[in-house]
Structure 1
Amino acid sequence: MKVNYLSLGELLKGLRGDEALRDAAKRMNITFSYLAMLERGKDRRTGNPIKPTPETLQRIANAYKFDYLKLIEMVGFSDDPIYNPALKEPFAHNPTLQQWYKTLPHCNEKEVEKLKVIWDVIHEGGDN
């Protein structure tokens, strides 16, 4: 079975459709030349791949009414806490522990770190 993976550029071109590049860029509040680079996938001057900021991706998501989290996942940034706000929460990679943590009274950062250590000890003990 063949699976087609879209690049960011291909996705942006598809989302833009027949809309003029300048019009789409204006709605995103970015320059049309930057949007053109995003659609090409690389910086025309350097040839390096483009890595848009989280703010730019949010503007794109808003302009095209496209899910921001799906967009960052599609471009490979879903494991980066800079792009994925969910990863900034305690225990982001453990939904069960995160759900339990959210039921606790408010904890400060030091208390959260203690909880993480305790969880790691409990979790490691269960693997033996």
Structure 2
Amino acid sequence: MKNTQKLGKKIRELRLKNDLSLRGLEEKSGVSYSFISSIENDRYQASRDKIIALANALVGSDINELLLLAGFAPEDNSSNDRNLSDEEVAFQAFINNPEHGIFFKDYLSAPEERREEMRIIFKALMEKEKGRKPGQRQGE
């Protein structure tokens, strides 16, 4: 059932919890700040793609909740899960953890120059970890 007024309030609530301005959410989601404002103020109905982009940019959001509020069918993940290996399921759980996923969402939404910087930092961390034994703290 479509409830665009509740959708707008939920998106605003999530945006503020993520400490994002309209322009900040625009950068992370690729949805224009004026369009986000229109959704938040119940002036415009968003497409399914825009709802998914916003949900992916907002840590702590439930994509299916937002889709339902916008009047769209929820994502069907059940058929995909049956074909995943244990390693892929573990990876999905890791990626969907807000503490871990924020890095990957930032990486995916970053411009190529920033991505390269992030890869360099990650390589440096991996190089530093090579000689580390289980139970050792970083830098020991």
TM range (shorter): 0.3 to 0.5
TM-score, with length taken from structure 1: 0.48
Bigger fraction of residues in helix: 2
TM-score, with length taken from structure 2: 0.44
